[in-house]
Structure 1
Amino acid sequence: MANHKSALKRIRQNKKRALHNKYYAKTMRNAVRKLRAITDKDEAIKMYPSVQKILDKLAKTNIIHKNKAANLKSGLCKHIATLG
């Protein structure tokens, strides 16, 4: 157990931030999953900017790595391109 007040505060902050990050990472995964499940190209094109915005925000705040965000966006673009 931590002995310093600052260490105890850091533990509290880390728990709170981990919960916050987990929520947004899960929301992002659900949005990506939902977009991949769409079979209509027009609907997927409409939804893509909102998913892209989520990915960019999470990469900016270091919840996910910027390269992971880029890879996901690239994969989603490829998915949308293959839709008929």
Structure 2
Amino acid sequence: MANHKSSVKRIRQDKKKALHNKYYAKTMRNAVRKLRAMTNKDEAVALYPQIQKMLDKLAKTHIIHKNKAANLKSSLAQHVNKLG
């Protein structure tokens, strides 16, 4: 266990931040999964900008890597374009 007051506080903060990051990462994964499961192009086109915005925000706050966000946006755009 930590011996310093500051390290005890840092552990507390890290737990809180990890929980926060886990929530947003899981929300992002669910949204991506939802878009990939769509077969209606109109619905997918309407949902894509929201997911794109979410990915950009998560990359900006370093919850996910910027390249991962770029790769996801690219693959989702391809999926939306393939829908008929």
Q: Within the alignment, does 1:81 sit opposite 2:81 as a pair?
A: yes
Aligned counterpart, 1:65: 65
Aligned AA for 1:43?
E
Equivalents in 2 of 1:31, 1:60: separation in Å? 18
1:5-84 to structure 2, matched below 5 A, reads 5-84=5-84
Shift of 1:40: 0.6
Aligned to 2:39, the other structure's residue is in SS state coil
Equivalents in 1 of 2:48, 2:68: separation in Å? 16
Aligned AA for 1:15?
K
Unaligned stretches of 5+ in structure 1? none
Equivalents in 1 of 2:37, 2:83: separation in Å? 11
Q: TM-score, normalised by structure 2?
A: 0.99
Moved over 3 A (4+): none
Count of residue pairs the alignment pairs up:
84
What percentage of aligned pairs have identical amino acids?
A: 77
